[in-house]
Amino acid sequence: MKVANAVTASSFAASLLLRGNLSDAYAPTIHIRTRTKKSFHYCKPCKAMLPSSSAVPPLSRRRLRRSISPFSLGNSSNTDDYGNGVDVESAAKLRQLTLYNSLTRTKAPFVPLSSPLVTMYTCGPTVYDSAHVGNFRAFLTYDVLKRVLTYLGYNVDHICNLTDVDDKIIKRCDREGVSLMELTRKFEGKFFDDLEALNIVKARAYPRATDHIQEMAQFIVDLEKNGLAYQSEEGSWYFAVSKKEGYGTRLVNLDPEQLKKGASAETGGGGAQRGVMDADEYDAEKEGARDFCLWKAYKPEFDRDDATWDPIVELKGGETKKIGRGRPGWHLECSAMARKYLGDTIDLHAGGVDLKFPHHENEIAQSEGANCAPFCHCWVHNGFVNIGDEKMSKSKGNFLTLRTACPTSDDVRAYRYLVVSSQYRNPLSFTDTALGAAKKALKRLDKLKIMIVDVLSKENGANIAYVVDSVDSNIATTVERELANFEVAIADDLSMPRASASLFSIVKLAENEFKRVTKAADDPDFSVLPPLDLVGLASVKQALEKMDTIFGIFYDVPEEKGGSDGGVSVNGNQLLVPDDVMQLVAQRSAAKDAKDWDLADSLRSKIAALGFEVKDVKGGDPIISRNDELLISKD
């Protein structure tokens, strides 16, 4: 037994583990930005030459050469291809990331304005209900994107808004007899609980729309000054689409004829996070068919005092301007918040593909119209989540909240793994089989990690069970290669299925190593246990931890804190009934009232699929009970 070598191997393993320390990746950083751009264009509203458009120019050979030699050292400063001040040392450490940019419709190198800082804005939830697993695909995509950028050496400054005033929120407050704040704070809390349950790295801030009324009012004033906003006789404010050059062509290719027709179903989009069509009772007031609402004037028959404001904007020269009593339109908050927290021009904007139009197209029109500067250089959109062949959406009644779809901690982690290991732009099928496969994969990973930790800790202790012959390790060499493959994959438009393949290649290596020794131990001809490749196993552990800075799957899911969405009492016991089930029950009652028996039956099946049963009571509310058999059979 070569104890000396065993000690060497042990300290080598320890150094590997130390270098795999995850916490440094999210250390706070002070950002210094310098922006001077080389190319300009003429801006009509401003009547001036302004920084050029958001198309990302190709990288020069000089920059490409620099990007393929990561981790080199240097102290000099320089300017990049856009004239931005770049710290050469920081830039040299960055590995090039390519992303599919919805703006250019191509996969291209991602070039932030002030590398290594990346400013990132993402559209957040409307907090009137629990978010569903389709929504969480977007939040998990933001998470992977941010983790990959951090891994590659960037400092990500991320802002995600919370929409806490809109038509649906107002209707629900009225229905439930609660204040706007009571309702929205409750679902904000649930949203943050779910983010934590999914191990999502938090944004720098989650600003609320209702805390930024003044910023939105200022935005309207800026748009009006540039000839892009007008007020209707009734007092609502609109964005004049016809006055904005290029509207409908940035993220989509709208037919100009269809644009004139206005809010028809040209995109077929459904809006996973909220309705995408602008058609509503405010349409009659607008001048152009596709003009969208910036500010909705107070309507006494619909509006509430706790959801209306009367902002006054101070103008230059001491004058003031009243916007009028009302509340903001949905699109405006994102432009106002992006400007306030990240500046006129941002590097990255992400959201579900259903937000491309009209929401993101409108954000671009507003921001560039008010700021007279490019809004965002790179737009990232994730695909839908499908239940069977259908897109998950609240309007189809086939949506699942996180806790309904994933009742156990293992399910929640499996859902995270299922989403983060998928190609974010493709549709994702959420089925019991897919979730089951993800759970199985996680079990395998957990088991292996425990075995490695166990064996390495024993090796470090007094009772050395295995002999280490050499620090040379075939496993460590292969792990290094797979880690390189993994890094190439994540930097290639977040190719997570390939990254997963690398992860499981190293898992297999370690499993085979354990099998080799176990098999030998069963052989009666062996008197001494053959040595395990501890250096190799330590390198596997380090690689797992490094890869987990992206996958984020090794964690303890916290207990659900939010409490009941809609608890009902059955036989004196409090039963927790999720919101989505309660809504289906309400829809079924409405269907029965309308004598639509087919719809009522299909809704009953949907309720059953979520693990609940509904029993009608003559002259009273239906009784809801949990069908434990169904819930168990979901595993």
Least distance from Zn ion to the Cβ atom of residue 123, Å: 3
Least distance from Zn ion to the Cβ atom of residue 337, Å: 9
Cβ–Cβ under 8 Å, residues 304 and 165: no
Please give the structure tokens belonging to residue 69. Answer: 């030699």
Q: Which amino acid is at 218?
A: Q
380 binding Zn ion? (CB under 5 A): no
Least distance from Zn ion to the Cβ atom of residue 299, Å: 24
Least distance from Zn ion to the Cβ atom of residue 341, Å: 13
The per-type count for the chain, helices as H runs and strands as E runs, is 19, 23
* Binding span for Zn ion by CB under 5 A among 119-127, 368-376, 473-481, 606-614: 119-127
Of the pair 294, 334, the CB lying nearest Zn ion is at 334
What are the CA-CA distances from residue 283 to residues 217, 262, 303, 343, 546 (Å)?
A: 21, 10, 17, 32, 52
Of the pair 123, 441, the CB lying nearest Zn ion is at 123
Least distance from Zn ion to the Cβ atom of residue 371, Å: 16
353 binding Zn ion? (CB under 5 A): no
Least distance from Zn ion to the Cβ atom of residue 375, Å: 11
Q: Which amino acid is at 484?
A: A
Nearest alpha-carbon partner for 451 in 368, 403, 512, 497: 512
Question: β-strands 40-43, 48-51: how paired?
Answer: antiparallel
Please give the structure tokens belonging to residue 551. Answer: 């996958």
CA 562 to chain centre: 21
221 binding Zn ion? (CB under 5 A): no
What are the CA-CA distances from residue 244 to residues 43, 247, 607 (Å)?
A: 11, 6, 47
294 binding Zn ion? (CB under 5 A): no
* Binding span for Zn ion by CB under 5 A among 39-47, 224-232, 327-335, 588-596: 327-335
Please give the structure tokens belonging to residue 527. Answer: 């008197």
Least distance from Zn ion to the Cβ atom of residue 330, Å: 8
Q: What value, to the nearest 5°, has the Cα angle with vertex 243 and ends 240 and 244?
A: 95
Of the pair 16, 334, the CB lying nearest Zn ion is at 334
What are the CA-CA distances from residue 623 to residues 67, 503, 544, 569, 577 (Å)?
A: 63, 48, 48, 9, 11
Q: 3-state DSSP call for residue 530?
A: coil
* Binding span for Zn ion by CB under 5 A among 19-27, 120-128, 413-421, 554-562: 120-128
Residues in the chain: 635
332 binding Zn ion? (CB under 5 A): no
Of the pair 250, 403, the CB lying nearest Zn ion is at 250
* Binding span for Zn ion by CB under 5 A among 201-209, 242-250, 326-334, 611-619: 326-334
Least distance from Zn ion to the Cβ atom of residue 28, Å: 26
Q: Cis omega before residue 256 (within 30°)?
A: no
Of the pair 282, 330, the CB lying nearest Zn ion is at 330
Please give the structure tokens belonging to residue 149. Answer: 């950028």
Least distance from Zn ion to the Cβ atom of residue 213, Å: 17
* Binding span for Zn ion by CB under 5 A among 333-341, 376-384, 585-593, 624-632: 333-341
What are the CA-CA distances from residue 294 to residues 177, 339, 343, 434 (Å)?
A: 27, 16, 20, 42
Choice from 293, 334, 342, 414 touching Zn ion (CB under 5 A): 334
* Binding span for Zn ion by CB under 5 A among 65-73, 121-129, 263-271, 456-464: 121-129
Does an H or E element contain 396, and which?
A: none
476 binding Zn ion? (CB under 5 A): no
Rounded CA separation 316/294 (Å): 22
What are the CA-CA distances from residue 512 to residues 75, 307, 515 (Å)?
A: 45, 62, 5
Rounded CA separation 351/242 (Å): 26
Of the pair 370, 490, the CB lying nearest Zn ion is at 370
Least distance from Zn ion to the Cβ atom of residue 390, Å: 25
Of the pair 350, 456, the CB lying nearest Zn ion is at 350
Q: Phi and psi for 615 in degrees, rounded to 5?
A: -120, 130
What are residue 309's DSSP bridge partners?
A: 326
State the binding string over 481-520 for Zn ion (x if CB under 5 A, else -): ----------------------------------------
* Binding span for Zn ion by CB under 5 A among 171-179, 330-338, 390-398, 579-587: 330-338
Virtual CA dihedral for 234, 290, 159, 374, nearest 10 degrees? -120
Q: Which residue has the tokens 């409108």?
A: 362
Of the pair 354, 493, the CB lying nearest Zn ion is at 354
Please give the structure tokens belonging to residue 563. Answer: 């409490």
Residues touching Zn ion, count (CB under 5 A): 2
* Binding span for Zn ion by CB under 5 A among 144-152, 331-339, 433-441, 494-502: 331-339
Least distance from Zn ion to the Cβ atom of residue 273, Å: 9
* Binding span for Zn ion by CB under 5 A among 111-119, 281-289, 299-307, 334-342: 334-342
Of the pair 334, 553, the CB lying nearest Zn ion is at 334
User: Could you say which DSSP state residue 285 is in?
Assistant: G
Least distance from Zn ion to the Cβ atom of residue 307, Å: 19
123 binding Zn ion? (CB under 5 A): yes
Binding positions for Zn ion, rule: CB under 5 A: 123, 334
